[in-house]
Structure 1
Amino acid sequence: MRKIFLCSILLAESFVSALAGGLVTNTNHSASFLRNPARMASLELDAVYYNPAGVAFMKKGFHIGLNNQSAFQNRDITATIQDNMFVPTTAMQNSLYEGTIVSPVIPSIHFAYVSDRWSISSHFGVPGGGGKLDYANGLPMFDVMVRQMIYGNVYGALMGGGASQATAATQAYQMAGAADVNSSFSGQTYLFGWQVGGSYKLTDNLSAYAGARLLMAKSKYEGSVYYALNGQENNMDLLAEQTGFGIAPIVGIDYKLDRLNLAVKYEFGSNIEVENSTSKFPEQFDGVAALARFKDGVKSQSDQPALLTAGAAYDLTRALKLSTGMHYYFDKNVNYNGLENEINSNTVEYMLGAEYALCQKLTLSAGVQFTNYEVTDNYNSNTGFMVSNYSLGGGLKYSPTENLDLNLGVLWTNFDDYSKTANYNGIGMLEQYDRRSTAAGIGAAWSF
């Protein structure tokens, strides 16, 4: 039973998933995105990330942008044990396990230099992960499997002492329910990205871009379970860190005609090999094959999928701009250490947005994003669950001078209801998942 418990802890590689975007990809890289997610055809400074080919159509000169976002998430699980032979149902009835993410600092930096034909640009951000997820009172899968382990230990001891099978089963069942079990778990994941590239005006209306992003992955997972039985206290602990890097080439095109702008970008997938630095790992499990890739020094995959984006923006009037866009993530083509087999189809997102200039200095904007995940129940677990959702964004741009823009944005995400019945070695458990997310950001862009 202990082996199963530790397998579940260590399968938490996707514990902290994307704040906005695909299964493992973040696309919120500016305060402007939060106020209007349809940025795929942007010709403002955040085009450095969303539409790098469009940088060629920006005003000539230097452009520098600084952004910070703060993200707040709740990922709660309500669990109920079903009738079984190992653990009394009274041990877990509508038990709430609360998970929280507080990420006050998610930075992004944009830079561009625009000349007559050539332009160069660079972006630094967090295209994956972006925070620390804490379950202070643990996870239901941990609690139920520890109680099942207690059942097995007590049952074996009683049978070894000469008790009848019925007596051993009854007493083990009662003690599994009466045991004091406490656990905690946290996961922290950051994927830092530095993008560099150049764009070129092929004609007065058409530009192209080529570049690449260097990706640096860093993750940390901590787990602890305490249980007491008949005055005997026990602890099981895990502390593992992972680091790695990869490179993703990027290409794009932009077509601008009067009031209409069209853009397409393709980011190649990145093969990221991470290496473990594990300081807490019980020696008694050194021979467990399922855990071998999590030992100290062992390498595994943490790949990023290819991403295709397309967008359009149209100036309906001098004051009103409409925009739309699409993200398509090639999730099924990457190595998620087996989880890719639990993905039914690639993730797709659609965006709509509008901006209205109240005056020369103040612009209001709003937008919506729809994200559709097609994954099986086996993909979703206590340590990571992805649920289809929609996001509503709003905010403003204030331009105190001709060369300075200040952006404020808020993005609220509503997730679909999701529940499943899990099976933990013969113990059925109804799990109801609830996820809520809010992100706020501020940014400044200078031109000179």
Structure 2
Amino acid sequence: MRKISLIGLAMLIVSIPTFAGDYLTNTNQNAAFLRMIARGASIDVDGVYSNPAGLAFLPKDGLQVALTIQSAYQTRDIAATSPLWTMDGQTTVRNYEGKASAPVIPSIHAVYKKGDWAFSGSFAIVGGGGKASFDNGLPMFDAAAISLATSASGGILKPNMYNINSAMEGRQYIYGFQLGASYKINKHFSVFAGARMNYFTGGYKGYLNIALKDGVAQQLGAAMVQQIMAANPGMSLEQATQTAQAQSGPLLQKLDNTKIELDCDQTGWGLTPIIGVDAKFGKLNLAAKYEFKANMNIENDTHTREFPDAAADFMAPYANGVNTPSDLPSMLSVAASYEFLPSLRASVEYHFFDDKNAGMADGKQKTLKHGTHEYLAGVEWDINKLFTVSGGYQKTDYGLSDAFQSDTSFSCDSYSVGFGGRINFTQALSLDVAYFWTTYSDYTKEKPRGLEATSMASLVDKDVYSRTNKVFGVSVNYKF
């Protein structure tokens, strides 16, 4: 069995994105994305993020602003099958449910166009954006507790003799402030240059306690008295009882000393340079954007860090002031849109996130098989001057591996569908409303608890990770 390891606790804060995109990157920052998904060739105010170079082709000069509110809800469940839960050779399943929510995620995008120039800026939650909680703990917590109880009791305590109380909660927000300028070179080409300042704030809390079930202490005491009297025939019951109490006292004290508790806040920042290009040929529009890697370290501000000696090495990274790499990966977006009719448009898009070259805690990125690939498509139709409806699809392929996945930081390949519409109240005022959900493929991790060198090596020991995700968004767009 592995030694107790809480190294995954810190990774919770980089594992709860409730949006589309990469591990640390949210690509949906406007309801227009939620309702159509493929917006990489958009020439609209949401292009401040999705296609900044295209802003130079906006049909009218002046200021445009979009205010967006999104609500996102996600579940993160683990079905853990292991003989460790009984320690008697019987394989059982324990289910752990995690919930992540971000009821209000605001963002604002603005662009001012004058002639061939367009100046844009935005403030949004560009990564994370919620809290995740596992009220009944995690498999790694239970495995750690069983290991500690077995070690502390010399093998006397079995899992059915004590209760494990554990829970954890994490939060993550990466705020992004972006500024840039677009320039129309001629009637066909425009370019963009800008940068985004990313500020990370997050934190996590976790605890683990082990408590004997009612009557277990008395049962152990009686069993020890019988053992002592059997080994010492001339000993009186009173003497055997005193000896048993003297032996059981340190054992129970060791059990009390297995408490684990963490309370840590983290902050960090990094800069993302951004460049883009747009090529417009009548009804066809082509666009590309490249976001450079943002080097970012997150620093601990630790308030509570209690643990037994057995966990000292693994708790060291959570000491106050320790820095952990958490880079935002470089990202390439290429897209094309075509206007089949004045009222009917369609788009396709591709994203690549270079995750293997973005630093993570303990060099975890090296275990990935490849960076993240995303494939997007969308269509929108103007029913009339008042209403526009749209829909879109996205497929996400992570380069996952067993070494990358953990209880506190796991991802699943997925596909997403979004739909919604726009209401054009006036030429200046419009409203986007959208709903977006994701269907994930379960990921099965074999032998997660390191039982290969034990008598339980031949038994089933696996975790099945599953997720759900739903997002609702509204954007108010105004042209001054």
Indicate the residue corresponding to 1:4 in structure 2. 4
Contiguous gaps of at least 5 residues in structure 1: 156-168
CA displacement 1:55-109 (0-9 Å, x = unmatched):
111121000110011001111111121379x82456x722211111121111111
Indicate the residue corresponding to 2:462 in structure 1. 430
Indicate the residue corresponding to 1:316 in structure 2. 340
What pairs with 1:13-412 in structure 2 (closer than 5 Å)?
13-17=13-17, 19-58=19-58, 59-82=60-83, 87-88=87-88, 93-155=92-154, 169=155, 171-172=156-157, 175-229=158-212, 230=216, 234=256, 235-282=259-306, 288-337=312-361, 338-412=363-437
Letter in 1 for 2:45: L
| TM-score normalised by the chain length of structure 2 | 0.86
CA distance in 2, matches of 1:392, 1:287: 43
| TM-score normalised by the chain length of structure 1 | 0.91
CA displacement 1:265-303 (0-9 Å, x = unmatched):
000000112110001112765994443332101112111
CA distance in 1, matches of 2:467, 2:7: 24
**How much has 1:152 moved relative to structure 2?**
1.2
8 Å Cα contact 1:312-1:325 kept in structure 2: yes
Indicate the residue corresponding to 1:159 in structure 2. none
**How much has 1:398 moved relative to structure 2?**
0.4
CA distance in 1, matches of 2:117, 2:66: 20
8 Å Cα contact 2:13-2:203 kept in structure 1: no
**How much has 1:20 moved relative to structure 2?**
1.1
Letter in 1 for 2:278: D
CA distance in 2, matches of 1:119, 1:327: 24
Q: Secondary structure at the match of 1:148?
A: helix
- Report the CA distance shift for 1:10/1:210 in structure 2 as closer, same or farther (over 3 A): closer
Indicate the residue corresponding to 2:442 in structure 1. 417
Indicate the residue corresponding to 2:245 in structure 1. none
Q: Secondary structure at the match of 1:22?
A: coil
CA displacement 1:401-445 (0-9 Å, x = unmatched):
001110001111000122122332427632122211110100011
CA distance in 2, matches of 1:35, 1:236: 45
What is the RMSD of the two structures over their aligned residues, measured on CA atoms? 2.0
Letter in 2 for 1:298: V
CA distance in 2, matches of 1:267, 1:18: 21
8 Å Cα contact 2:4-2:147 kept in structure 1: no
Indicate the residue corresponding to 2:243 in structure 1. none
Q: Secondary structure at the match of 2:39?
A: coil
**How much has 1:179 moved relative to structure 2?**
1.3
8 Å Cα contact 2:35-2:433 kept in structure 1: yes
CA displacement 1:12-66 (0-9 Å, x = unmatched):
3423235211122110100010001100000111000000001111121000110
- Greater strand percent: which structure? 1
- Report the CA distance shift for 1:357/1:281 in structure 2 as closer, same or farther (over 3 A): same
Letter in 2 for 1:77: I
Are residues 1:442 and 2:442 paired? Answer: no
CA distance in 2, matches of 1:131, 1:13: 10
8 Å Cα contact 1:21-1:28 kept in structure 2: yes
Letter in 2 for 1:317: L
**How much has 1:185 moved relative to structure 2?**
0.8
CA distance in 1, matches of 2:318, 2:126: 24
Q: Larger Rg: 1 or 2?
A: 2
CA distance in 2, matches of 1:279, 1:422: 34
- Report the CA distance shift for 1:314/1:348 in structure 2 as closer, same or farther (over 3 A): same
CA distance in 1, matches of 2:447, 2:13: 19
Q: Secondary structure at the match of 2:371?
A: strand
Letter in 2 for 1:147: I
CA distance in 2, matches of 1:437, 1:89: 36
CA distance in 1, matches of 2:386, 2:401: 48
CA distance in 1, matches of 2:464, 2:135: 18
CA distance in 2, matches of 1:243, 1:273: 8
Q: How many residue pairs get matched? A: 430
- Report the CA distance shift for 1:3/1:9 in structure 2 as closer, same or farther (over 3 A): farther
Letter in 2 for 1:447: K
